[in-house]
Amino acid sequence: GVLLLNGALLVVVMLAQEESWAKFLAAVVCGLQNGMCKMHCGAIVRTAQMTGLASDFGTALGRLLFLLQQRLLGHEPDAIDLAEAHTMKQKVVIYFTIASGFIFGVFLGGYLIEWLGEFAFLVPACISALLGVAYLIFQRPLREHGRGLQRRGNADPLLRDTQAVVNRAKSILQSAVMQSDAQKKPMLEVLHLVETQILARYSLAETPA
């Protein structure tokens, strides 16, 4: 629905581009795109502005370089550092892909303006509308497929037991926040022991025979 609305608003922007309020309507389209990506992807990724994207890209790249520097200086990364490095790598790839799309869009937009003039807005409007129609057509089959995968996952008793243990551990950790430092220390030692055992077993499982 949002994609179809975006396409319709872009057509309105094209028809009313001489009006003073047209640029504000174009900004609404960008906001709708950002909101749609946040809701569907579950992540705060700016897809319609370059300044915020540059800030996010710089922050993620800086953190990744810091972790790399720590490793080069002899600091052995723990499980949290490895997980953060993996997340930062994914963010850098995503931000670089979006930035590349911005740059490509600048050149493509300039070419379309030269070729189509005021009708250049029809290109993103049609793309957005076509994606919206495709989503409406395949929305139900994709949801059914996702529910089927979820049901198969929930049917696994080992997965259910693991999830139950993780949920209980989260509950205990939340209650431990209110405890004193003397009470937290033994719990932290237990968590480190569990982390070591998990990493050891995972490493053994991943080692080829």
* pTM for the predicted model, two decimal places: 0.52
Indicate the burial class of 128 (C-beta count within 10 angstroms; 0-12, 13-18, 19 or more). buried
pLDDT in tens, 107-147: 888 888 888 887 888 888 888 888 888 888 887 887 787 77
Q: Please, what is the average pLDDT of the chain?
A: 75
User: What pLDDT shows up at residue 90?
Assistant: 83
- In this prediction, residue 173 has a pLDDT band, given cuts at 50, 70 and 90, of low
| Vertex 43 angle, CA 170 and 51, to 5° | 135
DSSP state of 119: G
- In this prediction, residue 3 has a pLDDT band, given cuts at 50, 70 and 90, of confident
Cα separations in angstroms, 33 against 69, 130, 186? 37, 15, 48
- How far apart (Å, rounded) are the C-alpha atoms in residues 48 and 128? 14
